[in-house]
Amino acid sequence: MKRKAPSLQKSLPRYYFLVIFVIFTAMLTAFYIYYTRNLRASEYLNLQNVCDSAYSNMEQEIEKMSTVSLNTIYSKDILPGIRKIPVDQLGTQQTYTQVQAIYNSISAMIGPQQTVAQINLYHKNGFSAGTGFYTYNKKIDLKEKSWYNDVLTENGYKVMSTPQPISHFIPTAAIPYEPYYISLTRLYFDDVHEMEGAVEVLQKSDTFFNYIDRLTAANPALSLLIMNRNGELVYPVNGRGEELIHEITALAHKQDIPTGRTVYVRDESGRKNALYHQTVKSAGWQIYVFEPDSVITKSLAAPTFLFLAVLAAGIALTMAVCFSISRRILQPVGELTETFETLVLDDVFSHTIDTVSLPRSHYEEIQTLITSFRDMYNKMNASIMEMLKSQENEIRAKEIATQSMMKPHFLYNNLANISVMAEENMNQEIITLTENLCDYLRYTSTGSEIRVPVSDEFLYTQKYLACMNVRYRGRLTCDFTLDEQMGEIKIPKLSLQPIIENSLKYAFMKKPPWHISVRGDLDREAGKWFITITDNGVGFKEEELQELAHTLESIRDSKDITLLKIGGMGLQNVYLRLLLQYGPSASLTAENHPEGGACITMGGSITNDRNS
């Protein structure tokens, strides 16, 4: 009896199922093998990338600190300044200025970006100074420093410390907490290459290892350790990796681990570990990154379960498709498309909205947003311009007010002089004084200019002194010297008269002859002008210089006209008007001349006129 031929409706699905099942299973198996190999290779590559990234970052951080230390050594101000400081006179007024200059030079070396946290300098004569987060100077014994022998052995090359609490580096630092810092130290030598001292650069461990902290946080399955050539822990900081040192050391010394290649090593418990190793040659550090193989195997569990699930689902789907293929043909039901247009706004902060390229949209909501932004920008631009105009008017009003304070003050003094001269029947002198006074008052009272060329100020200051010399009957001599290229520079009107008046009133409390010198110079390299007024009077008392410096500093901070008072405003008035015109570049200093008398120097930028 012949067997009944199977129906095509039943046989075809079986054939289809068998063919599709074999092909699908083979492809899925091959994909699984390929995927797991790539996943393991990816884990190895990640291991290498983490170690290489840590290595590169450590090289960069060490090089940054090394560059700062070398710049400090080769600075033309720092080491020469240290050599001049008498260590047995620390804390005296004589060394105060020298030490402050060292502080300023170190601060400039650290820079506004805080490249490092602290720079400490040590000299073989016992002098030590440092600044950064803690400023100090004291006498020390260089040989007692913990790093002295190591640095001496390296003979000028850098030596990196392990992270230590701040008290390890600066025992006197009064800090309420104990942050960890890492140091780079190297010797510096004199002209005959004899050891002269050491430079120690400190960086906060959180900053130094910031990138590695983020790197390990992003790869929690990995363990990263850094040790120095003595087997001491460098990273993690604060003892967080002590429990791993023994394990890493055992793994590292069990086999000859090559640098720059992932290898498998087994620990004392027989567990398999993937280990990658790099050497930071500039510091003698060893970077170890390892990951237990169990972690890698565990990462393959999810893909394995997914493979089995996909295989089971594939078999079920294949069976369903094959059994239904004889009854109908599945066709796609359609496609859904969606577009989304993104508006990008560039150059938002141009001077006018017309210079900003704004796109146009067909959608009402986005177009409304663009229009609102345009209106907001225009209003903001108009508000800023209005505010700047208001500030300009305010500054001009202050300048006019401070200048006007000078006029009655000068007139009062000269009328008093005329009164005294009239009592003494000095008619010819009164005529001379009146003529010069008329010229001078015409200069101060005519015109709306609150700034005048330096040449004009010099000319009318000479007329003022001519007025005063009538009273002093030739016992006062003056000389004026002006750089030809400085004549057209504009300064506040009546800048010289208050200073010279102070000299006549206070400086000449001694027997004549009296002498006043006015000199105008240009410092073309610095781009600044200077006018220096000197006399041969009694000069300033030390407390007067300190009080004046404090007052000028207050005026510089506030620029407040209410700080001035009639009868005592001379230098302050001039300084305020210089500040209003020249801003931060304005300067006014008072000191005693080495040969006797007072010396007042004012200055400003050649091009930095705020009014322009």
129, 150, 152, 151: which is closest to 140 by C-alpha? 129
Domain ranges (residues) in the chain: 210-298, 345-390, 405-605
**Better-scored residue on pLDDT, 296 or 334:** 296
Residue 220 has pLDDT above 50, yes or no: yes
Give the class (CATH, top level) of 210-298. Answer: alpha beta
Residue 588, pLDDT score? 92
Task: Answer whether 291's CB lies under 8 Å from 221's CB.
Answer: yes
Give the whole-number percent of the chain exceeding pLDDT 70.
71
pLDDT at 577: 83
Q: How confident is the model at residue 393 (pLDDT cuts 50, 70, 90)?
A: very low
Among the residue ranges 79-88, 126-135, 428-437, the one predicted with the least confidence is 428-437
Q: How confident is the model at residue 567 (pLDDT cuts 50, 70, 90)?
A: very low
Identical topology for domains 210-298 and 405-605: no
pLDDT band at 342, cuts 50/70/90? very low
Q: Is the pLDDT of residue 599 over 90?
A: yes
Contacts of 119 (CB under 8 A, 6+ apart): 68, 69, 72, 106, 109, 110, 130, 131, 132, 199, 200, 201, 202
What does the pLDDT average to over 587-594? 90
Rounded Cα gap, residues 224 and 65, in angstroms: 23
Is the confidence at residue 331, as pLDDT, over 50? no
Q: What is the pLDDT of residues 291-321, one digit of tens each?
A: 877 766 666 667 677 777 777 777 777 767 6
pLDDT at 246: 59
Q: pLDDT (tens digit, 9 = 90+) per residue, 141-169?
A: 888 888 888 888 888 788 998 888 877 77
Hey, what are 16's tokens? 């289809």
In this structure, the strands spanning 514-523 and 476-482 are: parallel
Q: Which pLDDT score, from 0 to 100, does residue 57 have?
A: 93
133-159 as b/e: b if 16+ CB within 10 A: bbeebeeeebeebebbeebeeeeeebb
- pLDDT, position 601: 94
Supply the mean pLDDT for the chain. Answer: 76
Query: Comparing 13 with 71, which gets the higher pLDDT?
Result: 71
pLDDT greater than 60 at residue 563 = no
pLDDT of residue 14: 66
Domain 405-605: give its CATH code: 3.30.565.10
Place of tokens 């560059």: 67
Query: What's the confidence (pLDDT) of residue 240?
Result: 53
Task: Please tell me the pTM assigned to this model.
Answer: 0.45
Q: Report in angstroms the alpha-carbon separations of 76 from 70, 108, 249.
A: 12, 13, 46
Q: Helix (H, G, I), strand (E, B), or coil: what is residue 41?
A: helix
Looking at the predicted structure, is the pLDDT value of residue 45 above 90? no
pLDDT top residue among 351 and 541: 541
Amino acid 370: pLDDT: 59
